Amino acid sequence: MARARASGRTDGYRLVDWLHYILLCTPTLHTRKPRCRSCRANLVKKHILADPACELCGQPEDCDHLILRCRFAVQVYRHYSSFILLVCWLLWKSRNELVFQNITPSVGRFWLACHDEARLWSHRLKIEDRQIADAWCLLFSSM
């Protein structure tokens, strides 16, 4: 992350660097990631496929590309920081309800509040990005 800040890279690239760090340091993913048995680059090495190009964007597909750098993955992570902020904001509000209104926190009520807040936050997104907030609402509804 310090490298990303020093080079003046954008938040999106810092997020990719952070995710890359997590993938390397998480034991479950760490043990699976280097093998990457089913990525196209590995299948080409084994002569199972002839073309290593990602079917989504045409770039060479290895594990880093598939999880972090593919155009599709970048779109998925695009508003991830907003999602985290929304959850943090609602955790803070839940704590304040307990402290100032003596309302005991409830996980069900928390996810419902996240759903409602995501619906409100969707109005500040660009029209083409509002589907992301819709996906958040679906996620919160299923919790």
Question: Residue 53 belongs to what domain range?
Answer: 2-77
In the chain, the number of structural domains is: 2
Residues 59/70, Cβ–Cβ less than 8 Å: yes
d(CA 134, CA 136): 5
Could you read off the pLDDT of 3-56 as tens digits, one per residue? 444 445 455 566 667 666 665 655 554 455 555 667 788 788 888 889 988 888
Name the domain boundary from 37, 52, 77: 77
Residue 98 has, within 13 A of its CA and on its CB side, a CA count of 10
Name the domain boundary from 44, 60, 77: 77
pLDDT band at 106 (very low <50, low <70, confident <90, very high): very high
Q: Are residues 6 and 38 in the same domain?
A: yes
Name the domain boundary from 55, 77, 99: 77
> Residues in the chain, how many?
143
Q: Are residues 67 and 132 in the same domain?
A: no
Q: Are residues 35 and 89 in the same domain?
A: no
Q: What does the DSSP assignment read for 79-132?
A: THHHHHHHHHHHHHHHHHHHHHH-PPP-HHHHHHHHHHHHHHHGGGS-GGGHHH
pTM as predicted:
0.54
Q: Are residues 26 and 87 in the same domain?
A: no
Q: Are residues 28 and 42 in the same domain?
A: yes
Q: Are residues 55 and 87 in the same domain?
A: no
pLDDT the model gives residue 111: 92
